[in-house]
Structure 1
Amino acid sequence: MNGRIMIVEDERIVALDLRQTLESFGHEVVMVASSGEQAVAEGPRLKPDLVLMDIHLDGPMDGTAAACVLQEHSIPVLFLTAFAGQAMLDLAERSSPYGYLVKPVETRALQATVRMALARRRAELQVEKGEERLRLAMDAAELGVWEWDATRHRFVSEGRFESIFGCSPESLDDAERGFLARIDPAFRPGIAEALTQGQAIRTTVKLNESPDSGDNGWVDLHAQAFSRPDGGLDRAVGVIRDVTLEREQEERLRRAAVVFTSTGEGMAILDVDHRVISINPAFETLTGFTEHEVKGLAPDDFLHARRREDSFEARLQESDSDYWSGEVACLRKDGTLFPAWQHLCVVRDAQGQVGNYVLAISDTGALRRAEAQINHLAYHDTLTGLGNRNMLEDTIEREIDRARQHGGRVAVLFIDLDGFKLINDTLGHAAGDTLLREVAHRISRILRRTDTAIRIGGDEFVVVVPDITRLEDCASLAEKLLCEIRTGIDLEHERLSVSASIGIAVFPDNANDFTGLVQAADSAMYGAKERGRNRYAFYSNDMAERAIERLHIEQGLLRAIAGDQLLLQYQPVVRLEDGQLVGFEALIRWDEPTHGRIGPDRFIPVAEECGLIDYIGAWVLRTACAQAVSWIRQGFEALRLAVNVSARQMSAGDFVTTVREILDETEFPPDQLDLEITESTLQSVDHSRQLLAELRALGVCISIDDFGTGFSSLSLLKHLQIDRIKIDRSFVQDLPGDANGVAVTEAIVAMANRLGLSLIAEGVETATQQEFLRKLGCDEAQGYLFSRPLDVRDVDMLIAAPPEHLS
């Protein structure tokens, strides 16, 4: 086959002879160049099939240099030269020529050599085209090709390999830069085993992060391993393709399938003609139809009720978009009708053509029941089933509006249980909840159908009573409620009784709106508590003032604790026999910046009700013990310190621990600490005997304060570990002129002497009282006759220079 040939020869006659000879063989001579520069300039443009090149040419570029440049453009060169020395051959070999002829060359040899060179070129072009097709095919398929030559320990890659793999491995199994090291460890063992055994591999694997780019992903891996005769790996060849996007799409499809299968909404996939392709299990559950029964049917044929506005086409025509949602009437397989919330969605392909429709339905009957349940929870107390705060406001405002329209009255009864917190703390929250449920039941049992019972939190209840004509009716209802509440309740194998305090306020007499009416009833309730509890009280202005004062005290106490406004004074206790100072009682005071000093009788009850007494009591005990230790170190070694303890403190489960920690912290001698506890406290604390035993085990002394003023029980003195009792000032103040006071005092002294208890008389203000009590057998006393409560600096002076006796 003839070819297109370029001649590069600087001898004109030789060049013309060669042209004639080649043309006589049927070849086309596309150009005769006289220099290497000319050949390099024109060769890439003419693209000859072969260049017949002399090595020695005029100009700076010889034939070998020109041949190297033409080789870069895939133009083959055949050297025709007069020189054949070894040096010349070595130089010519660098350009990989297609042949080397030495002048003068015989015509047949020239013809044969040129013909073979052209045949070789055609074969190479065939290979190049095949390689190009393979390369284009790999690019089109986005493949990467790799080969591992185990004998040469060489890894070769082509195509998209490096862009897919993120790097070019140096070997097959190198720990850091190897092909297998780039594959996720979970997939690596199977691939390594297949390659070792010479097996074919067709799998999808996950890649580790690339050390170069940090990318990872998924690839399809196809490979074939070839073994040596001895069974070892000879070579392996394979291709890879990035399938990360496909894997992500598959994962999305799997998630969508899970949602489709597990969602609570009934879903149906429809074709372009609105016919069912598939339904999910929820659709079967909601409608009763199986997929086999509805496949190929339109929803209008079996699902939608026979009303045109519920049809598929009507709904889509309403919407200006590919979505519609609303409530429709649907039919179950058994013919029953149910309301459903329906979503319609058009699914379009990449060209915007409709491909499918998605229909989703949910039973709104269940939603309505759930809404009703949520609404009930929003307006009812979960513990008792009564209304809650939300219902309270709605009810009162509604009844006030009705009363305004018809000229009626509305009464609000605010109920607070007496002593509930003590029961809750001692018996536990479970018992407290049982008690609250029973009280709620009893309140509801008393009321009319038009009345509303509310639990607003804790142990507080409110009753809203509309259409009141007489205030006496409110009083009668309150009496019934008090009687019903205080009836004994069986609670955890115990029969307990709890009383209540009820405050009554009436619209429009006491307030004109919701807030004012509730506040007035709340104030009246505190008025009932102040009058002795287990009773009711109507609202009055002075109650409101006391309620405001209580609020100010509660808020002021919080500021007092934070601002160190609380302080202690100490009242001396003397021995009546000789007037000798034996100790002090610590008394708390509050120096309020605006109102001056406030006595404990005003703020301690508030502290007990609002829960601050625990902190205040611990502060008093710690401060008094720390101060008394300094006086002991000043020389008053036998000092006895008395500190009052409230019922709330003793009811706390950690009271004994608190006392122990304070004694350890301050290093105050336990046997010189006297805890003063009232009779009512001992009676209200269920585990008082065990508690006093634990306190006595610490070495602490116990006194009963204000003895005789509570509901005294001689069993307290008989069974509880008590060291002394304090005669209340109410018995002392009229001695010795009051016969009843004398009789009571004599009885207390006689009883104490028989039981071996020490006695302290409070409120001694005259020498006559002192002498009478001394002769009667009373051991010690305190009162203004001896000293008023003293500040710390005054006690320091008293201890530094004590008088012979205080009297």
Structure 2
Amino acid sequence: MQQRIMIVEDERIVALDLKNSLTHLGYEVVGMASRGSDAIQLAGSLQPDMILMDINLEDEMDGTEAASTIFQRWQLPVIFLTAYAEEKSLERAEASLPYGYLLKPFDLRELKATLQMALARRRTELNLRQTEQRLRLAMQAAALGLWEWDMERDILHLSGNDPLVRLFPDGHCQGIEQFTRLLLLPSQQQLRKALRGNGAFNLTLGYLRPQGDLAWIDLYADYRDLGDGRKGMIGVFLDVTERCRREELLRQANVVFDTAAEGIIIMDEQQQIISVNPAFTRLTGFSRDEVLGQSPDRFMQTRRQGDSQYPWHTLGRKNPVWHGEMSCLRRDGQPFTAWQHVSIVYGQGRKTTHYVIAFSDISAMRHVEAQLNHLAYHDALTGLGNRNLIQERLGIELQTARINHHSLGLLFLDLDGFKLINDTLGHSAGDELLKVLACRLQGIIRSTDIVARLGGDEFLILVPRLTHPQELEVLSDKILNTIRLPLMLCSDPVTISASIGISIFPNDGTTPEALLQAADSAMYEAKSQGRNRCLLYSPDMARRSLDKLKLEQGLSQAIQRQELELFFQPIIALHSGQLCGVEALLRWHHGERGLMTPDKFIPIAEESDLIDRLGRWVMRTACQQGQHWLQAGFPLTRLAVNVSVRELRASDYIEQLQGILDETGFPPERLELEVTESIMQQVDQSLTLFSRLKQLGVMIAIDDFGTGFSSLSLLKSLPIDRIKIDRSFVQPLPHDRHSCELCRTILTLAHNLDLTVTAEGIEQEEQYHFLQQLGCEDGQGYLFSKPQPAANMTDQWDRRIHGSPVYPKV
């Protein structure tokens, strides 16, 4: 291919002669111009391989200026032609970076040689330019930056599109140390150490971007001769921030994989194991090498004949995750229950590449659940079924009896004199007795019968199928004879008896409640007839209901007959032994039954409408007596009155109480209302009620604390002043460890909530001293005084006036 030459010469004859010479040498002359401006325009349109240009043109623009413009615009090579070799002309020509000079006149050989050398240089430069362009494109495609350090002048230049370049003006950095200080401290140390060496290095360096986020680069650099005897380094760098982040996430995942408490199995797309973590080995006993290449369901899952495929085999795009409970095997063959989570890992194109199984051993949890379920249906002391179990089974067996038209029997057993054994030998002995008797009962009944402990010393025996009622009497006699056998308690032989009531389906009832009530009535009848016997239920046992009705009717007339009286029990400050208040306690002087305590008739009053009338009488009488004592000069600081939940739930109770206080003149701040824990169940209503009571100025105490079902957290929500520890917690003190801890806990809780505490049922000095040491403020009980009529309180008030303690008595 001919080389294309353009001629710029203002002398036409010289230009034509030069054209002929070039044509003779095999070149193609593509254009000719005589002026500089024309030469620039022609060069731009023709883009020749070489331009022969006369320096001195008859134009405003000489050849050197035209050549400079052409080179700046298109980098086209120029060889100058001149008949003069003045120094100034040559200097101007040199500034335009020419490819050579020809002094006129020149011969053909000079022209040929000059053109050959200039064109060879041109080809080399074009090749180098293409190479540089390809390198630049490659660096751009690879997102590489160029890193050049002139060691002699300590100038660092960065180029490329990386954000790191933009941290320096035009990519110029004033010395290697400025660049180094930009890096994180560990990276600074890495780079300084590498620069002290004599060879190439490849480092991963970190730095903070202006936004504050962490970035990383890979820098590869090597020593090079920069020319002119200057030494330096040239390298490339690549932003690897995303790779470093992924590597960090991978390291974190690796730590999780190695340290997770859950066993982790990674499988390929064929469900073959390719990796397991240490927890897998710990949970199953299988080592990594033993399971690689296997499927988990071939060695780990328990499988019965005929079972279908395991859940994760059915995973797909619609169901990429499965979790559930599986029964698994350890290496030693021991089964365990595992909670498994199975996931699909997708690659490009949503193609399944791996499966991941994470599992945990929940055998302990299932064991605890089984234990809790057992406790829900079994008595913790004896191991027998409890009320829940017997009620559930009774309902099931009744349904079966109806369908199959057969009879069913229920025995209600209550021990005779068990409380006496508890009180004399202690609760531990009582518990041991119950366990022994439970074993005896289980040994007597048939395998189809069910025995359960209702609580305390009460037991139920369910006989699901009867042929004759006499079977139950025979069974009851065997039970009574077995119970009467002596047993050793506290190294002493003890004999105990029982009373048994019997009810039969369908004669005595068709529901669990009716059968239980009938058996209970028969049991009480057996006790009333002398104990140590069994009785079948009969309708005449309804007499008890009649007695209850008579009691209710008598109570409704007790107020008019003036059979009710308030007794008062002193409340003692335990730190001083002095009287600090009294509690009003109701007594009924029954014409036939004598003096009756509230536990005998208050439940009946609460079941009827009598409790409201009774409550108003108690509150009015107590306030009248309190005001009488105050007017007599007795220092009554606290008058405690029990109020039932039913009274408090009356819509006008606050108004009733306000009316009584106004009527009697008793100061509300000296009145303390004692309520049971059951009132606390409905928090919002209780908060409203208690707040209104506090507005009246009265104090509020929670009676029999610890025996109800309230949440302790409610104490902090309600405006309560005091809690009273139930006597059932006080009586075992200080010998029963559990009671001691309960009392200590109640006192700590109360004091942390700024509540004061009164202990009920203090009957022994050691109980008094123990509670005193715990910091209990007040107490009451037979140790100090039994409840007594108001008239008998004079001595107590006199001792209080003179500052003498009620206890110890002096």
Q: TM-score, normalised by structure 2?
A: 0.52
Distance 1:84 1:665 in 2: 118
Match of 1:571 among 625, 629, 632: 625
**The one of 633, 644, 667 aligned to 1:581:** 633
User: What is the Cα deviation at residue 156 of structure 1?
Assistant: 1.9
How is 1:65-144 mapped onto 2 (pairs within 5 angstroms)?
67-68=68-69, 70-80=71-81, 95-99=96-100, 111-139=112-140, 142-144=143-145
Residue 594 of structure 1 pairs with residue 592 of structure 2: no
1:192: Cα distance to partner?
Answer: 1.5
Deviations 1:486-506 (A, max 9, x none): x9999xxxxxxxxx9999999
Task: Note if 1:20 corresponds to 2:73.
Answer: no
> Partners of 1:263 and 1:659 in 2: how far apart?
41
Q: Give CA deviations for 1:497-535 in whole Å, capped at 9, x if unaligned.
A: xxx999999988999778x789989x99xx99xx9xx99
The answer for the alignment partner of 1:728 in structure 2 is 789
| Cα deviation code 1:403-456 (max 9, x no counterpart) | 4334545769899xx999xx9xxxxxxx99999999788657645555667899
From the superposition, tell whether residues 446 and 26 of structure 1 become closer, same or farther in structure 2 (CA, over 3 Å).
Answer: same
Aligned to 2:219: 221
Alpha-carbon shift at residue 147 of structure 1 (Å): 1.9
Kept in 2, the 8 Å contact 1:617–1:645? The answer is no
Alignment of 1:683-722 (within 5 A): 683=763, 687-691=767-771, 716=783
Structure 1 residues 647 and 289, CA gap change in structure 2 (3 angstroms): closer
Q: Which range moved further: 369-378 or 72-81?
A: 369-378
- Counterpart of 1:586, as a letter, is L
Instruction: Go from structure 1 to structure 2 and tell me whether the alpha carbon gap of 1:727 and 1:136 turns closer, same or farther (over 3 Å shift).
Output: closer
Query: Are residues 61 and 53 of structure 1, via their aligned partners in 2, closer, same or farther at CA, if it must alter by over 3 Å?
Result: same
Q: Secondary structure at the match of 1:48?
A: coil
SS in 2 for 1:467: strand
Query: Is the CA contact 2:158–2:165 (under 8 Å) kept in the aligned structure 1?
Result: no
Q: List alignment gaps of at least 5 residues for structure 1.
A: 424-430, 491-499, 557-564, 627-642, 667-674, 705-711, 717-721, 733-744, 762-778, 780-807
Aligned to 2:209: 210
Equivalents in 2 of 1:551, 1:45: separation in Å? 118
Deviation string for 1:684-742 (max 9, x for gaps)? 8963234458989x9x9x887xxxxxxx5xxx3xxxxx6x887436xx6xxxxxxxxxx
Q: Is the 8 A contact 1:266 1:286 kept in 2?
A: no
* Structure 2 unaligned spans of 5+: 491-497, 553-601, 613-618, 662-671, 701-721, 731-742, 805-810
Name the residue aligned to 1:607. 676
Query: Structure 1 counterpart of 2:51, which letter?
Result: V
- Which secondary structure does the structure 2 equivalent of 1:571 belong to? helix
Shift of 1:195: 1.0
User: Given that residues 407 and 465 in structure 2 are in contact (C-alpha distance below 8 angstroms), is that contact kept between their aligned partners in structure 1?
Assistant: yes
Report matched runs for 1:285-364 at 5 Å.
Answer: none
Check conservation: 1:345, 1:358, Cα contact below 8 A.
Answer: yes
**Contact 1:143 1:240 survives alignment (8 Å):** yes
Corresponding residue for residue 236 of structure 2: 239
For each residue in 1:535-562, what CA deviation from the matched residue of structure 2 results, as whole angstroms up to 9, or x when unmatched?
A: 9999999999998996999xx9xxxxxx
| Paired residue secondary structure (1:683) | coil
Further displaced range: 322-331 or 188-197: 322-331
- CA gap of 1:504–1:301, structure 2 versus 1, over 3 A, is closer
2:7 aligned counterpart, secondary structure: strand
Tell me which moved more, 250-259 or 44-53.
250-259
Does 2:400 align with 1:402?
yes
* Correspondence for 1:153: 154
1:182 equivalent in structure 2: 183
Q: In 2, are the aligned partners of 1:380 and 1:386 still within 8 Å (CA)?
A: no
Compared with structure 1, are the counterparts of its residues 303 and 408 closer, same or farther at alpha carbon in structure 2 (3 Å cutoff)? Answer: closer
- Corresponding residue SS for 1:178: helix
Alpha carbons of structure 1 residues 413 and 195: separation in structure 2 relative to 1, 3 Å = farther
> What is the 5 A alignment of 1:381-396?
381=376, 395=393
Residue 655 of structure 1 and its aligned partner are, at CA, apart by 8.8
Residue type of the alignment partner of 1:683: E
- Contact 1:164/1:241 (<8 A) preserved: no
Q: Residue 560 of structure 2 corresponds to which residue in structure 1?
A: none
Q: In angstroms, what is the RMSD of aligned CA positions?
A: 7.9
- Counterparts of residues 211-610 of structure 1 (less than 5 Å): 211=210, 216=214, 218-224=216-222, 235-243=232-240, 248=246, 252=250, 255=253, 259=257, 374-375=369-370, 377-381=372-376, 395=393, 397-406=395-404, 408-409=407-408, 446=441, 448=445, 450=448, 465=462, 467=464, 569=623, 571-572=625-626, 580-584=632-636, 586-588=639-641, 592=648, 593-594=650-651, 596=653, 597=656, 607=676
Identify if the C-alpha distance between structure 1 residues 443 and 102 changes in structure 2 by more than 3 Å, giving closer, same or farther. Answer: farther
Distance 1:467 1:112, change over 3 A: same
Within 2, Cα distance between the matches of 1:607 and 1:367? Answer: 42
- The answer (yes or no) to whether the contact 2:338–2:362 under 8 Å persists in 1 is no
Residue 173 of structure 2 corresponds to 171
Are 2:148 and 2:157, in contact at CA under 8 Å, matched by a contact in 1? Answer: yes
- Secondary structure of the residue aligned to 1:121 is helix
Secondary structure, aligned partner of 1:582 = coil
For 1:94 and 1:43, the matched residues in 2 are separated by 19
Q: What SS does the corresponding residue of 1:236 show, helix, strand or coil?
A: strand
Question: Contact conserved, 2:301 with 2:329, CA < 8 A, in 1?
Answer: yes
CA distance in 2, matches of 1:414, 1:59: 136
Q: 1-side partners of 2:51 and 2:256: how far apart?
A: 69
Q: Distance in 1 between matches of 2:75 and 2:364?
A: 83
User: Cα 1:99–1:595, aligned 2, differ >3 Å: closer, same or farther?
Assistant: same
Q: Is the 8 A contact 2:51 2:77 kept in 1?
A: yes
Which AA in structure 2 matches 1:128? R
- TM-score in terms of structure 1 length: 0.52
Cα–Cα, structure 1 residues 38 and 251, in superposed 2: closer, same or farther, change >3 Å? farther
SS at match of 2:192: helix
Q: 1:475 to 1:234 in 2, by over 3 A?
A: farther
Percent identity over the alignment?
A: 27
State the alpha-carbon separation in 1 of the partners of residues 133 and 642 from structure 2.
103
In 2, distance between residues paired with 1:288 and 1:90?
A: 90
Instruction: From the superposition, tell whether residues 343 and 98 of structure 1 become closer, same or farther in structure 2 (CA, over 3 Å).
Output: same
Could you tell me how far 1:607 is from its partner in structure 2? 0.8
Kindly indicate whether the alpha-carbon contact (under 8 Å) linking 2:504 and 2:515 is maintained by their aligned counterparts in 1: no
Cα distance change, pair 84–138 in 1 and its aligned pair in 2 (3 A):
same
Offset of residue 124 of structure 1: 1.9
Q: Distance in 2 between matches of 1:328 and 1:165?
A: 57
Separation in structure 2 between the aligned mates of residue 249 and residue 64 of structure 1, nearest angstrom: 59
Task: Report the Cα distance in structure 2 between the residues aligned to 1:14 and 1:437, rounded to whole angstroms.
Answer: 139
The CA deviation at 1:155 is: 1.7
The alpha-carbon deviation at position 194 of structure 1 amounts to 2.0
8 Å contact 2:626–2:639 — kept in the other structure? no
Match of 2:738 in 1: none
Contact preservation (8 Å) 1:2, 1:28: yes
Structure-2 change in CA distance of 1:573 and 1:359 (3 Å) = closer
Indicate how the Cα distance of structure 1 residues 329 and 661 shifts in structure 2: closer, same or farther if over 3 A, else same. Answer: closer
Alpha carbons of structure 1 residues 77 and 518: separation in structure 2 relative to 1, 3 Å: farther
Amino acid at match of 2:634: V
Q: How many residues are aligned here? A: 636
Aligned-residue offset at 1:133: 4.5
For residue 582 of structure 1, what is the amino acid of its counterpart? F
Residue pair 1:410, 1:467 contacting (<8 A) in 2 also? yes
